[in-house]
Structure 1
Amino acid sequence: MSVPSNRYFAVKTTVGQEKNVARLIEARLAEVLVEEVAEPSGSTAVDDSNWVIQIFESPKNVTVSTVSLYLDKEGELTAPLRIELYKIKEPPEEFTLGEEQEVDYVSLIRDAQLLTNASYDPLLLDKPGWYDIRIPTGVELRRYTVYGVMVKAPNLKQGRYMLHYTENKLYVDGRAFTTSDAGVGWREEAFNILFKVKESTDVASIIILPSVKGYVFIEGRGREAIAAAVQGIRHVKNRPLITVTLDEIAEHLVEKPLIDVLTVGQMVEIVSGPLRGLMGKIIRIDRSKREVTLELTESTYQLPISVSVDSVRILDEVKSRRT
Structure 2
Amino acid sequence: MGEEPESKIFAIRTVINREREVAELIEDQNDYKDLSLKAILVSPRTSGYVYAEATSEAEILRATEDVKLVKDVIEKPASREDLEKILNPRPPVADVSYGDTVEIINGEFKGERGKVANISHSEEEVTVRMKTTAVSFSTTVGMDEVKPVEGNRA
The TM-score normalised by the length of structure 2 is 0.63
Q: Paired residue for 2:82?
A: 248
Alignment of 1:205-244 (within 5 A): 205-238=39-72, 240-244=74-78
Q: Residues 2 and 306 (structure 1 numbering): CA distance in 2 closer, same or farther, change over 3 Å? A: farther
**Kindly tell me: are residues 258 and 247 of structure 1, through their superposed partners in 2, closer, same or farther at Cα, counting changes over 3 Å?**
closer
Specify the alignment match of 1:137 in structure 2. none
- Corresponding letter in the other structure for 1:226: I
- Please say if 1:7 is aligned against 2:8: yes
8 A contact 1:280–1:294 mirrored in 2: no
Distance 2:95 2:45 in 1: 13
Letter in 2 for 1:203: L
Query: Which sections of structure 1, spanning at least 5 residues, go unmatched?
Result: 33-198, 269-278
Aligned-pair CA distance for 1:267: 4.5
Alpha-carbon offset, residue 254 of structure 1? 2.9
Q: Deviation digits for residues 297-317 of structure 1, max 9, x if unmatched?
A: xxxx8248586xxx8341xx7
Q: How far is the alpha carbon of 1:285 from its aligned partner?
A: 5.2
Distance 2:70 2:30 in 1: 16
The corresponding residue for 1:66 is none
Q: Choose between structure 1 and 2: higher helix proportion.
A: 2
Q: Distance in 1 between matches of 2:140 and 2:19?
A: 28
Give the Cα separation in 2 of the matches to 1:253 and 1:306.
37
Mapping of residues 81-96 of structure 1, within 5 Å? none
Using the alignment, how far apart are the partners of 2:140 and 2:114 within structure 1?
14
Deviations 1:135-161 (A, max 9, x none): xxxxxxxxxxxxxxxxxxxxxxxxxxx
Conserved 8 A contact 1:14-1:235: yes
Partner of 1:29: 30
Q: Which residue of 1 aligns with 2:105?
A: 266
**C-alpha displacement at 1:255, in angstroms?**
4.9
Provide the C-alpha distance between the structure 2 equivalents of 1:247 and 1:20, rounded to a whole number of angstroms: 26
More strand, by proportion: 1
Instruction: State the Cα distance separating 1:221 from its structure 2 match.
Output: 0.8
Q: When the two structures are superposed, what TM-score results if normalisation uses the length of structure 1? A: 0.33
CA displacement at 1:206 relative to structure 2:
0.7
Structure scoring higher RCO (CA < 8 A, sep ≥ 6) equals 1
Tell me what 2:151 maps to: none
Greater Cα radius of gyration, structure 1 or 2:
1
Deviates more, 1:221-230 or 1:14-23: 14-23
Identity %: 17
Residues 285 and 293, structure 1, Cα contact 8 Å, conserved in 2: yes
Change (3 A) 1:218 1:237: same
1:283 has 2:122 as partner: no
Note if 1:16 corresponds to 2:17: yes
Q: What amino acid sits opposite 2:85 in the alignment? A: E
Give the counterpart letter for 1:283 in structure 2. R
